[in-house]
Amino acid sequence: MGTALVTGATAGLGLEFVWQLATARHDVVVVARDADRLEQLAAQVRAAAGVRVEVLPADLSVPAELERVAARLAVTGEEAGDDRRPVGLLVNNAGFATAQSFVRGELAVELSALDVMVRAVLVLSHAAAGQMTSRGRGAILNVASVAALTAGGTYAAAKAYVRSFTEGLAVELRGTGVTATVLCPGFVHTEFHDRAGVDMTSVPEIGWLDAPTVVAEALAEVRRGVVISTPSVRYKAASALLRLAPRFAVRAVGKYR
């Protein structure tokens, strides 16, 4: 069934990707910073799903650690003495909210967000696309957000990059047997907002998606080779509105949360 590499595998959408992929009999390579949490997850997934799980702890904002993940993606399965299997699905999912104003906020936080949500997506997509096109098959799934269509500060700017980059990658990959998909969810119940200390109590339940549904829909769209995946009818409608609305109106709405 192939091997999938998931970044941000310890929580939220990434954790759900790991479980759904393992249940569908994929081996998985799990990437995040928290090595203990990754080891616990690996033990649970091996026991429950009987698939191979490789633990690859990495802080994607650190170039040397990012390189280790890129090197794993470059494995073709033909290297002498290396029994690791090539990755057939890359899920670039790791991310976090900057949760600060750009002007008064810490520059280090902004640079880290850029490294994790833009630079890592670029570097890992490059490594995966090279290996996958040489084998003539594979898929890359990059997690952006509906925020990509808003004027929501640097987080939205990073997600706009991921959306635009993935569309361009999908065009370049046409006819290679490799696909690129960008996932653009609205609010999802995960650890994302708690980690950032963002109060989301004003968002009504109708505005929320659940991770199992988002991930199941995203994986189905990857299988169909869909380029832009926006889960749920309500966020498809919101995205259509954001694309059609004049930009001054989008700016007037202000930040997305």
Ligand X SMILES: NC(=O)C1=CN([C@@H]2O[C@H](COP(=O)(O)OP(=O)(O)OC[C@H]3O[C@@H](n4cnc5c(N)ncnc54)[C@H](OP(=O)(O)O)[C@@H]3O)[C@@H](O)[C@H]2O)C=CC1
Chain residues that interact with ligand AKB, rule: CB under 6 A: 145-147, 155, 186-187, 192, 256-257
The minimum distance between CB 196 and ligand X, in angstroms, equals 8
Nearer to ligand X, 1 or 253 (CB): 253
Which of 41, 70, 143, 173 is close enough to bind ligand X by CB under 6 A? 143
Beta bridge partners of 3: 27, 87
CA-based nearest residue to 183, from 130, 133, 131, 139:
139
Is 155 annotated in the active site? yes
Nearer to ligand X, 93 or 179 (CB): 93
In degrees, rounded to 5, the angle at the alpha carbon of residue 8 between the alpha carbons of residues 36 and 22 is 85
Q: Does 20 bind ligand X (CB under 6 A)?
A: no
Nearer to ligand AKB, 107 or 202 (CB): 202
* Options 155, 161, 235, 256, the catalytic residue: 155
Residues 94/116, Cβ–Cβ less than 8 Å: yes
Compose the 116-135 pattern: x for residues touching ligand X by CB under 6 A, - for all others: x-------------------
Residue 127 Cα to chain centre, angstroms: 15
First to last CA, the chain: 39
Q: Does 60 bind ligand X (CB under 6 A)?
A: yes
257 contact choice in ligand AKB, ligand X, none (CB below 5 to 8 Å, kind-dependent): ligand AKB
Give residues 79-108 in contact with ligand X (rule: CB under 6 A). 93-96
Give residues 175-234 in contact with ligand X (rule: CB under 6 A). 185, 187-188, 190-192, 195
79 contact choice in ligand AKB, ligand X, none (CB below 5 to 8 Å, kind-dependent): none
* Binding positions for ligand X, rule: CB under 6 A: 7-14, 32-34, 37, 59-61, 93-96, 116, 143, 145, 185, 187-188, 190-192, 195
